[in-house]
Amino acid sequence: MILPIAVHGHPVLRQKAKPLAKDHLDFNQFLKDMWATMYRTDGIGLAAPQVGHSLRLFVIDLDVFKDEYPELKGFKKAFINASIEYLPSKSVSLSEGCLSLPGIHKKVKRPNRIRINYQDENFEQHSEEYEGFAARVIQHEYDHLEGKLFIDYLNVFERLLLKRRLNLMMNGKVQAGYEIIRQTK
């Protein structure tokens, strides 16, 4: 099932997500729906809060970038109950977008190396290090669990330029190529 997307202005995007238990109701179906929704919306990552569920789960598929970044071939992972450690590295700027901020792309500066501890879809524990593009996408999705969006990293001037569009978005005046969660006020 394709799930509708929560866009900027929906309170779930600003909540700290809760741990996901192995016996969570319909977990397998929910994970399937997350993948289906991510592919349908042409996303490379999707976090549970973005489909209205405040749970510590996100999925990432970076295989599409294998020509530019050969190390990403076959990178398709679900991250459950993750925690991130930022490793000593220089920060790098790169343009980001987000299904919860349709039509907005901005350069975001992020640390280049991370360690992530997480459980996979079988709830087996892993601890892995990533750098470069994978580290960036993981940080972006992880931020969703902490109630953060990439626009939070922009400077005052950049935010001012986006203010009108963001206000319209918060008031439900938004167009996207996918179904969004309409809030009743």
Place of tokens 């749970």: 55
Torsion of CA 4, 14, 87, 104, to 10 degrees: 60
Q: Does 98 bind Ni ion (CB under 5 A)?
A: yes
| HSE-up of residue 180 (Cα within 13 Å, Cβ side) | 21
Least separation in angstroms between CB 46 and Ni ion: 8
Least separation in angstroms between CB 22 and Ni ion: 26
Task: Give the residue with the Cβ less far from Ni ion, 73 or 179.
Answer: 179
Q: How many CB atoms lie within 10 A of CB 154?
A: 18
Footprint (CB under 5 A) of Ni ion, residues 125-164: none
Task: Give the residue with the Cβ less far from Ni ion, 48 or 98.
Answer: 98
Which residue among 141, 146, 158, 179 is the active-site one? 141
Question: What is d(CA 116, CA 131) in angstroms, rounded to the nearest whole number?
Answer: 11
Answer yes or no: 141 catalytic. Answer: yes
- Of 167, 159, 183, 168, whose CA–CA distance to 10 is shortest? 183
Contact region with Ni ion (CB under 5 A), list: 9-17, 62-70, 83-91, 93-101: 93-101
Task: Give the residue with the Cβ less far from Ni ion, 127 or 158.
Answer: 158
Least separation in angstroms between CB 50 and Ni ion: 6
Question: What is d(CA 99, CA 97) in angstroms, rounded to the nearest whole number?
Answer: 7
Binding site for Ni ion (CB under 5 A): 98
Residues recognised as catalytic? 141
